[in-house]
Amino acid sequence: MYTRFLAIAIPVVCALCARADVTFDLTLLASNECFACGVYAVGDIDQDGANDIVAGEGSPRLVWYPYPISADTKHTIASSASLGFEIHLGDVDNDGDLDVMSSGAGITWWENPLLPGGNPATDSWEVHEFGSSGGDHNGGSHDFKAGDIDGDGWVDGVERGQNTGQYIVYLNDQAGGWSQFSVNASRGGEGTWLGDVDGDGDLDLTDGWAWFECPDNPASESWTQHDVGNAGYHLTRSYIADINEDGNMDILVSPTEFGGSKLVWWEAPDDPKTGPWTEHILVEYNDPNFHTLQVGDIDLDGHLDVLVGSTHGPNSDPKLLWIFYNTNGDGLTWEEQKWNSPGGCWQGILGDVGSDGDLDILTVDYSGGNQGEFYENTLDPDMTAVSHRRAAPDARQLSGPSMRMLFTPDGTASAPYVIFRESSGTGNSRVFDLRGKRVSLDPRRLERPPRIE
């Protein structure tokens, strides 16, 4: 079943303004039947061109829902699975399809049988365990992330327990084996994200308080810890993203287990190794906690927005989904949209389910008996990028059958360039200045303005 869902915006003071122009279709998925076994990932499992949903659910089991999503249509990956608090997709064996990774009692990946010549809906997924979890939370690690840490083109993994000041990194040796090493942190707690903080082309680590610099040889050289700031809590969700579009990678952090805290993004200096980092508070809130923290362009205006969600804390009601829209792309002015989530938002994620060009939300509470929630973004990527901007009537018109829309990114005729969206459904953009000279634009960022010096 699905329900058209309009998230209700509630006005707050300071730099936040209410908005309610993004709507979602809500589909209820299967319930989780045990503690911390409701987790999600998004990717094209069967390579039909539309991203599917991979879910940990039940007691627990691992399944995938093919797109279009129906609660009644899903395929089993593992009828019984030891899942950690996260699952991730990646081509672990480099055979061209997406596999599933997690960290429960052991660090595990499930091999997609699609290639060569298989069917992930009917064929068995072979399970591979490549480590005994070094975590300390309910028999497994609390945090787990996947990415190419040593830059060899193969997917690696990193885990962290809730109470340890140590990350364990697992390197894929490209032959079915794994080596591991530790990265020491100055504090215990939750919170792990991978991203290129210093712009040198490799993946660094952060816990929201500090970032850990990946060396040239990550397995044999020391990872240098660079402090960012103290947000006031040690159990966190963290994220690395360029919030203010200055070319530097900023760090976001939210409290996961305790209310009375603040949601923060730390503005990176030009040299993130020397600092200082500038603290920006999105909101201070007595309750709830924010065990979900995700970043992406939810309203398709070209700026990165922030999704947080709550599940438990000093008070369990309300359980919120809360979106902060980065209005001007500078990280200083935000509009908000929030609503009560029936089941809570424990490890919620953003992902483009169906590959239709917008970001959807998947979430479920951490305790047993709660149904999963799939909020499908109803925005039309072909139209939404211009829905809040008026056309520039005196901008130079460039004709052509593939042109659909003409506007200036700030909604006025004074901007030095204009953007054309193709009507073919490809999502491609072509950018010109007002003299008709074409400007380079990364199509993956859609309408994000090119930097003008």
CA distances from 398 to 349, 430, 435, 443 (A): 40, 11, 10, 19
Of residues 368 and 426, more confidence is placed in 368
Q: Are 364 and 349 in contact (CB under 8 A)?
A: no
Q: How far apart are alpha carbons 199 and 203 in whole angstroms?
A: 9
Region 142-165: mean pLDDT is 87
Q: How far apart are alpha carbons 385 and 406 in whole angstroms?
A: 11
What pLDDT was estimated at residue 258? 63
Q: Are 282 and 290 in contact (CB under 8 A)?
A: no
What pLDDT was estimated at residue 286? 66
Closest CA to 63 of 74, 47, 51: 74
- Which of the residue ranges 357-371, 405-419, 420-434 would you say has the lowest mean pLDDT? 405-419
Give the confidence band of 312 by pLDDT, cuts at 50, 70, 90: low
Max mean pLDDT range (24-28, 202-206, 414-418, 436-440): 202-206
Q: 213: which strand partners?
A: 224
Region 340-361: mean pLDDT is 87
Is 349 exposed, middle or buried, given 0-12, 13-18 or 19+ CB atoms closer than 10 A?
Answer: buried
Region 329-350: mean pLDDT is 85
Q: Mean pLDDT over all residues of the chain?
A: 76
Of residues 78 and 8, more confidence is placed in 78
- Does residue 109 register a pLDDT over 50? yes
CA distances from 178 to 8, 102, 158, 212, 321 (A): 47, 15, 12, 22, 38
Closest CA to 292 of 341, 248, 249: 341
What pLDDT was estimated at residue 432? 45
3-state secondary structure of 225: strand
Of residues 356 and 8, more confidence is placed in 356
What pLDDT was estimated at residue 367? 66
Say how many CA atoms lie within 13 Å of 239 toward its Cβ. Answer: 25
pLDDT digits (tens, 9 = 90+) for 223-274: 999 999 887 666 778 999 999 999 999 999 887 766 557 889 999 999 999 9
Q: Residues 6 or more apart from 351 whose CB is under 8 A from it? A: 40, 41, 42, 43, 51, 53, 359, 360, 362
Of residues 130 and 129, more confidence is placed in 129
Say how many CA atoms lie within 13 Å of 346 toward its Cβ. Answer: 21
**Which alpha helices (H) appear in 116-194, and where do they start and end?**
none
pLDDT digits (tens, 9 = 90+) for 15-61: 445 554 688 999 988 876 555 566 899 999 999 999 999 998 877 78
Residue 23: other Cβ atoms inside 10 A:
16
What pLDDT was estimated at residue 234? 66
- Does residue 360 register a pLDDT over 50? yes
